[in-house]
């Protein structure tokens, strides 16, 4: 069942950040019947949403002057901080009682600090980062991890479900981004383990594709393996999630972990692997290109011969 509540409520919503993820997410909200006021620094993105039925705004402040609920989907911590507290930002015109739902993937420490500042103005906040990439943003099947007050989560659950197939409450403000960073740590290490294992198989003289087929049904099997191993074997590095974005997430994970004295040695090692890939010009490639690091140091390639 898609909806938690019996009656779906249509709302006037603000949406700031119409990039690779934000554009399809906002379109899904329009398809669900919500009235959307949108803003992005890219005017063509705004124009595309207007064609889809949205109302164009001139700035974040303009959005906040028209909407009591605002969703943001921006690249990183500095961008969301600027969108909220910068010139012509949300905080300039947002009224007490406004709710900000930040769906960006940022440092949870920043989420908590922003929430505290907004609370002084009577503005409430949820952090609700997503997992699933552009394809799931398009078809509305993202996974959303939400932090903030439980009553706010309950109020906005249905709206978030217009963009997702899973919306899970994980605790106080900042917890959503903690969950997202935990997800990114697991994904990075998992991709590396698959790449390392298949490179080992090739170096040992065994067909890595047959090794993949042999182990995928056992304990080693995972969603990551089933998505990324075939791409590695095909030499397909077309980005679903770019190395440069995973670097951003791991940097936030390292900063957050260090702030609470939580050791994350595997995360640190994966950051160095990805920095190597960036130095080799692979920062725009999919994160399955982690296999290129292993191929480089092993002096082999696991790509199937055509």
What are the catalytic residues? 180
Could you write out the DSSP letters of every residue in 69-125?
A: EEEE--SSHHHHHHHHHSTT-HHHHPPTT-EEEE-S---HHHHHHHHHHHHTTT-EE
Distance CA(269)–CA(282), nearest Å, equals: 17
DSSP state of 286: B
Q: What secondary structure letter does DSSP report for 242?
A: B
Question: Rounded to an integer, what distance in angstroms lies between the CA atom of residue 72 and that of residue 50?
Answer: 17
Closest CA to 211 of 219, 223, 222, 199: 199
Any residues with CB less than 8 A from the CB of 72 and at least 6 apart, and which? 15, 16, 17, 80, 83, 84, 90, 100, 101, 102, 103, 104
């Amino acid at each position: 069942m898609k909806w938690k509540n019996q009656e779906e409520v249509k709302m006037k919503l603000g949406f700031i950040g119409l990039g690779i993820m934000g554009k399809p997410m906002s379109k899904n909200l329009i398809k669900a019947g919500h009235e959307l006021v949108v803003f992005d620094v890219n005017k063509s993105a705004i124009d595309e949403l207007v064609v889809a039925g949205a109302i164009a705004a001139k700035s974040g402040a303009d959005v906040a002057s028209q909407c009591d609920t605002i969703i943001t989907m921006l690249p990183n911590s500095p961008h969301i901080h600027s969108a909220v507290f910068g010139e012509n930002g949300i905080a300039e015109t947002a009224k007490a009682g406004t709710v900000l739902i930040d769906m960006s993937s940022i440092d949870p420490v920043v989420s908590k600090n922003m929430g505290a500042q907004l609370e002084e103005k009577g503005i409430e906040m949820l952090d609700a980062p997503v997992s699933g990439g552009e394809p799931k943003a398009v078809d509305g099947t993202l996974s959303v991890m939400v932090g903030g007050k439980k009553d706010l989560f309950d109020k906005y659950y249905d709206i978030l479900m217009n963009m997702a197939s899973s919306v899970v409450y994980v605790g106080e403000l900042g917890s959503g981004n903690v969950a997202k960073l935990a997800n990114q740590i697991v994904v990075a290490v998992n991709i590396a383990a698959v790449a390392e294992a298949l490179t080992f198989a090739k170096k040992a003289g065994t067909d890595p594709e047959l090794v993949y087929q042999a182990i995928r049904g056992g304990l080693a099997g995972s969603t990551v393996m089933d998505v990324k191993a075939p791409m590695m074997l095909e030499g397909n590095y077309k980005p679903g999630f770019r190395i440069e974005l995973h670097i951003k997430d791991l940097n936030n994970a390292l900063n957050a972990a260090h702030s609470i004295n939580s050791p994350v040695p595997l995360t640190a090692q994966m950051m160095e692997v990805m920095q190597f890939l960036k130095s080799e010009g692979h920062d725009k490639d999919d994160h399955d290109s982690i296999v290129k690091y292993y191929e480089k140091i092993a002096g082999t390639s696991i790509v199937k011969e055509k």
